[in-house]
A and B are shown apart, each in its own frame.
Chain A
Amino acid sequence: MSGRAGGLPTRALRKTLSGRAGGLPTRALRKTLSGRAGGLPTRALRKTLRGQAIERIPTVVIGAGHAGLAASYFLSDRSIDHVILERGEVANSWRRERWDSLRLLTPNWQSRLPGLRYEGPDPDGYMTVGEVTEFIERFATVSRAPVRTGTNVTSVRRADDGYHVTASSGEIRCRAVVIASGACNQPSVPPFTGAVPATVEQLTPFDYRDPAKLPDGGVLVVGASATGVQLAAELQRSGRPVTLSVGEHVRLPRTYRGRDVLWWMDASGVWDQRYDEVEDLTRARQLPSPQLVGTPERTTLDLNALASMGVELVGRWGAVRDGRALFSGGLRNMFSLADLKMGRLLDTFDEWARTHGRDAEVDPPERFAPTPVPSSARLQLDLRSGEIRAIVWATGFRPDYDWLDVPALDAKGQLRHDGGAVDSPGLYALGLPVLRRRKSTFIYGIEDDARAVIDHLARYLAETNAIYLTQRAPTAPLNPGPQAR
């Protein structure tokens, strides 16, 4: 490419861009859009609550899931006074926002929280939702976490030397806040759901409990991450013909060389890769969850498994036109990308086993058949024909920061943070994808993250305390400023 044809004379471009960026109302717009502009309930609420005493607690943790409770564990360890505000009960989303058959993707021996590990009879099994809930509850109990249940946070904003938290129970002034409210607060769906004919029922994983909830007849499952492949398999087994719309996905075998694939992720160090070592962090943080399911049989649930069950595979759903769903013709490349990526990961495992002298304790290397492309993947489907009676949107989740009145979100609505230290002093996050390591969102991964984040928080409290005290110290008479004369 010649200099000119490069077309992007970067220096000039940057200059132009930064100049233009200055003139654009993005910041103001974001404020208006996300700042819960003026007259929203927070102000009214504050008014109502005025007169009530403002509670002062050094640190507030939002959310009593495994992440918030792990934060609390390390805060208690450092004797930092704090409280956990929880909108519902401990492990709330596990109780109310998961489908019945769900099990953890990680084997039981990886179900580990600070000071608590699985001690049951089946270390290679996978916890059910009920067992996860109990496990997290037990953690809250043994760590004596100061949880206030039924306490909904409606606003967090900056105030003086810290944050002002408005919750359904009252107002709290604190120095630091740990956001542990989860990465999956809302199902994320494409913009064209409104163009789907009304005769087709639409569900998100939040609405879904079991197949009986759906009408009889064909189901179109959209998305081939862990959620999509699990629901597609379950619905197909219920006798409903399933069509699965497949975009980019992460293919993994359940076991590799005789061990759980997540054993390999852990042992080989892939899971420990730090966020600042990941080549494309934005992409790593957006990666769909791997095609895994936790079953007693430890079966692989990739697209080959689904196709052999009779699930029809189609490309990524791109648009609705005249009541027809239009799918991408690029399915073959989606398969190639996932097959190649899995191959590279297995190479990494083999290389690790070889160089660390572990070959003898595991089975010989294996390679899996590439995902075969259906001879005639359909490019469109008439949603008015009655063939499809329901659509399940397994198209991902996003966090909800509607209550966060601190300008710390990027243009995509994600928290701006550096390894959990949010772009606002004293504000922290836990439990987000690749927050500090690749294992961050797994229960197994929270201990290292929470320790590091609370370390940072403790340092912040100590340092700001020191500054606060220095400023208050009677230095003025020794060094009188102009006003003092």
Chain B
Amino acid sequence: MTTVTNGVNVQALLDAREALKGAPEAAQFTWRASAKWQSGVHSTIKVQSFFGLGEEQSHKEEWTFEADHPEVFAAEDNGITPIEYLLVGLASCLTGGIASVAENRGIQLRSVESTVEGGHDIRGILGADSDVRNGYNDIKVTFTIDADASRQEIEALVAQSQKRSAVFDALTNPTNVTVEVA
């Protein structure tokens, strides 16, 4: 087999998987973001620290995100809408998953591109119709992948990536959410 270089250190991940089998508590991670209201529906979100492997961890630097709404919502459009961040999360999670699975299966990727569309009836959030939900009605991701693999193998990559995706799971399965005032 020729050496595959998708740039994923799969061996490290496989080793970690083995190591964590015997130490599930070290696998407990807490991801964090902190948000600050600017004005209108514009807020700024910062992400840097997280907890995992039994101790505090940190990204190399602090990442900043702007969230707002577009002008059709009578807002200033200082950033993307919060619900678009879900699409950002889903697309990046599945893409990373495809690269990892491909690396593990010895499949060389040349390009992986995708478009994500979320169907959203905004009557829900506007309170115009109580039968309409607030969130997405459906989400569709379309991948275009160029790789040294058959169509079936590529479909299997995409399926496996969904199977192991944190964001796919978070969007498709119920999650307990607690929101409180400090």
Contact = CB atoms under 8 A, between A and B. Distances in A.
Contacts of A17: 19-20, 22-23, 26, 53
Given A16-B53, A24-B23, A1 B7 contact: yes
B23 A20 contact: yes
Interface of B: 7-9, 11-13, 15-16, 19-20, 22-26, 52-54, 57, 60, 152, 155-156, 158-160, 162-163, 168-169, 171-174
A20 B173 contact: no
A326 B171 CA distance: 13
18 contacts: A1-B9, A3-B9, A6-B9, A7-B57, A8-B53, A10-B19, A13-B16, A14-B19, A17-B19, A17-B23, A318-B174, A329-B171, A330-B173, A333-B162, A336-B162, A340-B159, A344-B152, A344-B156
A457 to B, nearest CB: 29
A16 B19 CA distance: 10
A224 to B, nearest CB: 16
Given A13-B16, A318-B174, A333-B168, 4 more contacts: A10-B12, A319-B173, A330-B169, A340-B156
Main secondary structure of the interface of A (DSSP, over half): mixed
A337 B168 CA distance: 15
Interface centre among B15, B22, B57, B168 (most CB of A within 10 A): B22
Given A14-B15, A330-B172, A21 B23 contact: yes
Contact of A10 (B15, B162, B168): B15
Interface string A62-84: 00000000000000000000000
Given A330-B162, A333-B159, A333-B163, A20 B26 contact: yes
Q: Which 8 A-B pairs give the minimum distances between C-beta atoms?
A: A329-B172, A330-B172, A10-B15, A326-B174, A319-B174, A17-B23, A318-B173, A333-B162
A472 interface: no
Nearest to A11: B15
Given A10-B12, A13-B16, A4 B60 contact: yes
B118 to A, nearest CB: 12
Nearest to B57: A7
Contacts of A4: 60
